A and B are shown apart, each in its own frame.
Chain A
Amino acid sequence: MNINLLYHFGRYILLLKQAFSKPENWSMYWKETLRQMNDIGIGSIVIVALISVFMGAVAAVQFAYQLDGTLVPRWYIGYIVRDLAIIESAPTITCLVLAGKVGSNMAAELGGMRQKEHIDAMEIMGVNTANYLITPKVVAALVVIPLLVTLSAYIAIGGGYLATVPTGQITADEYARGLRAFFIEFNVTMMYVKSFVFAFILTTVSCFQGYYVQGGSIELGKASTNAVVFSNILILLADYLLAVLLTS
Chain B
Amino acid sequence: MIRAENIFKSFDDNEVLKGISMEFLPGKTNLIIGRSGAGKTVFLKILVGLISPTSGKVYYDDVDFFSLDKKQIREIRMQVGMLFQGSALFDSMTVEENIRFPLDMFSGMTLAEKHDRVNWCLERVNLPGVNDKYPSEISGGMQKRVGIARAIVLSPKYLFCDEPNSGLDPRTALLIDELIQDITYEHNITTIINTHDMNSVMEIGDNIAFLHQGHLAWRGNKDQVLETESEELKSFIFASPFLQRLRTQALAAKNQ
Partner of A124, one of B75, B82, B86: B82
B88 touches A126 (CB 8 A): no
Per-residue CB contact flags for chain A residues 69-81 toward chain B (1 = under 8 Å, else 0) read 0000000000000
Q: Determine if A24 is an interface residue (Cβ-Cβ < 8 Å).
A: yes
Q: Which residues of B contact A125 (CB under 8 A)?
A: 77-78, 101-102, 105-106, 154
> Which residues of B come within 8 Å of A, CB atoms?
45, 48, 50, 70, 74-75, 77-78, 80-82, 84-86, 88, 90-91, 101-102, 104-106, 154, 160
Q: Which residues of A contact B48 (CB under 8 A)?
A: 124
Binds B, one of A113-121, A149-157, A171-179, A181-189: A113-121
Task: Give the distance in Å from the alpha carbon of A25 to the alpha carbon of B102 in the complex.
Answer: 11
Report the contact-size class of chain A (Cβ under 8 Å from the partner).
Answer: 10 to 19
- Min Cβ gap B94→A in Å is 15
A selection of 14 A-B contacts at a CB cut-off of 8 Å is: A25-B104, A25-B106, A28-B105, A117-B84, A120-B50, A121-B82, A124-B50, A124-B77, A124-B160, A125-B101, A125-B106, A125-B154, A126-B74, A126-B75
A28 touches B104 (CB 8 A): yes
Q: Could you tell me which residues of chain A, from 124 to 183, have a CB within 8 Å of some CB in chain B?
A: 124-128
Q: Which residues of B contact A126 (CB under 8 A)?
A: 74-75, 77-78, 80, 102, 105-106
A118 touches B88 (CB 8 A): yes
Q: Which residues of A contact B50 (CB under 8 A)?
A: 120, 123-124
Main secondary structure of the interface of B (DSSP, over half): mixed
Task: Give the distance in Å from the alpha carbon of A117 to the alpha carbon of B147 in the complex.
Answer: 12
Q: Which residues of A contact B74 (CB under 8 A)?
A: 126, 128
Task: Give the distance in Å from the alpha carbon of A161 to the alpha carbon of B106 in the complex.
Answer: 54
- Min Cβ gap A129→B in Å is 11
- Given the known interface contacts A123-B77, A124-B77, A126-B78, the answer about A24 and B106 at a Cβ–Cβ threshold of 8 Å is yes
Q: Which residues of A contact B160 (CB under 8 A)?
A: 124
B86 touches A117 (CB 8 A): yes
- Min Cβ gap B145→A in Å is 15
- Min Cβ gap A211→B in Å is 14
B88 touches A121 (CB 8 A): yes
